[in-house]
Structure 1
């Protein structure tokens, strides 16, 4: 049996209704419930984004970040008006210097604590190494992921990562025209290679 599924993603952006203000209308055809309106406001040291779904009882999302070139604090909150429940609330802190980024976050309704670190080894080739440690309070499980990235040339880059459960993934991404990318990715469970290999390809086109 062969199944073909086609989706059309449409985005309309209105810039500068006021200084720093942007409005975005997006929807995915044929999903009639996918439409949403998003309003973004950016200031020198802060940014706010609010979106609401185009449905009778929509999902409302708010995200914001404030800081400077060194330290930033942000939050992401979603509220489902159909149930009256918060479906998401996350907070995060990041610290950046010229060659490293460290971040700490509470996600999944504060059930998951994560800490990550990325160090730039070579700015000329965009080579970097990083690691992330995540702890789940509900399951008391820890996940350690290490990864790296490298630019083969100005238009092509590769990334790879592996975690302590033996899940390894890699991708190669090429900008074949300005703002248009083709990505080939793969993932495998190193403990069951013959059963779990996955390969994917993605194409992003921008006018």
Structure 2
């Protein structure tokens, strides 16, 4: 399976992660604990402006089955049951939310040496159907996805993409927004020690002839400290510093400044993740 193509949703993932992952402009706290019996507990708190929200997440693993239950501040309960290898190469996920009785969903993933297929169906009288597939190899893959709403008998999305991957770089080209947007992304890990990586994403919208881009970089100052930067054509500049101050425990400080809105205050965020 390791030599097969990644799922369609993972095409361009390395670029997306470098440009967006860990950037946080609020105050966030996460505490994760895992016992030897397979039971994990994660508590998350988020302060955004003057509003504080949080959730408690419990994960239990036994054999090929994992049960994930999350309760948030508003008493919503989200449950996800994952079963691996019901059939060889498959992963089945059943999820639902309480009190939303129409939120039930069944996802099935199948991984093969030359294909990766994901399907999703809503468990209600008028379900939303989604299907994505990628074919090829670990280095070169071609794929697409489609969504269909049975309630309105209309397509909610249809996208396509192609990617080329190597250990030190990857490139991807997408046709998204029902064929209205062309997006290209590139990721490169610089030699000799792979301590610095760069990424870029460019977008062209056919309907408005509008072009946009975002470029970013990541640099490991030492084995425990990472600095990331990001710049977009809309004038927004962002940076973050992440420090692993103890094993698996991270503190991340992020900031963003809009060069085109001089009078606007800069955004600033702190995220603390603890794993005893």
State the TM bucket, normalised to the shorter chain. 0.7 to 0.9
User: Is 1:76 the counterpart of 2:145 in the alignment?
Assistant: yes
**Using a 3 Å threshold, how does the CA distance of structure 1 residues 32 and 165 change in structure 2: closer, same or farther?**
same
User: Is 1:86 the counterpart of 2:174 in the alignment?
Assistant: no
Deviation at residue 12 of structure 1 after TM alignment: 1.5
- The one of 37, 45, 54 equivalent to 2:123 is 54
The one-character-per-residue Cα deviations of 1:82-132 (angstroms, maximum 9, x if unpaired) are 111111111001112342211111011111101122211147454211222
User: Is 1:107 the counterpart of 2:176 in the alignment?
Assistant: yes
The one-character-per-residue Cα deviations of 1:4-57 (angstroms, maximum 9, x if unpaired) are 555634322101101001101224455444432100000122110101123332
Please, what is the CA RMSD of the aligned residues?
3.0
Partner of 1:15: 84
Structure 1: tracts of 5 or more residues without a match: none
User: Is 1:120 the counterpart of 2:195 in the alignment?
Assistant: no
Query: TM-score scaled to structure 2, two decimals?
Result: 0.63
Instruction: Give the Cα separation in 2 of the matches to 1:123 and 1:63.
Output: 37
Deviation at residue 134 of structure 1 after TM alignment: 0.7
- Greater relative contact order (Cα 8 A, min sep 6): structure 1 or 2? 2
User: Is 1:164 the counterpart of 2:233 in the alignment?
Assistant: yes
**Using a 3 Å threshold, how does the CA distance of structure 1 residues 32 and 103 change in structure 2: closer, same or farther?**
same
Q: Note if contact 1:125-1:153 (Cα within 8 Å) is conserved in structure 2.
A: no
- SS of residue matched to 2:264: helix
User: Is 1:132 the counterpart of 2:183 in the alignment?
Assistant: no
User: Is 1:197 the counterpart of 2:197 in the alignment?
Assistant: no
Instruction: Give the Cα separation in 2 of the matches to 1:32 and 1:181.
Output: 37
The one-character-per-residue Cα deviations of 1:129-171 (angstroms, maximum 9, x if unpaired) are 1222110011210002111122345555443211112122334
**Using a 3 Å threshold, how does the CA distance of structure 1 residues 116 and 3 change in structure 2: closer, same or farther?**
closer
Deviation at residue 188 of structure 1 after TM alignment: 3.0
Structure 2: tracts of 5 or more residues without a match: 1-48, 56-70, 72-77
Query: TM-score scaled to structure 1, two decimals?
Result: 0.82
**Count of equivalent residues:** 205
Instruction: Give the Cα separation in 2 of the matches to 1:182 and 1:26.
Output: 31
Comparing 111-120 and 161-170, the one that deviates more:
161-170
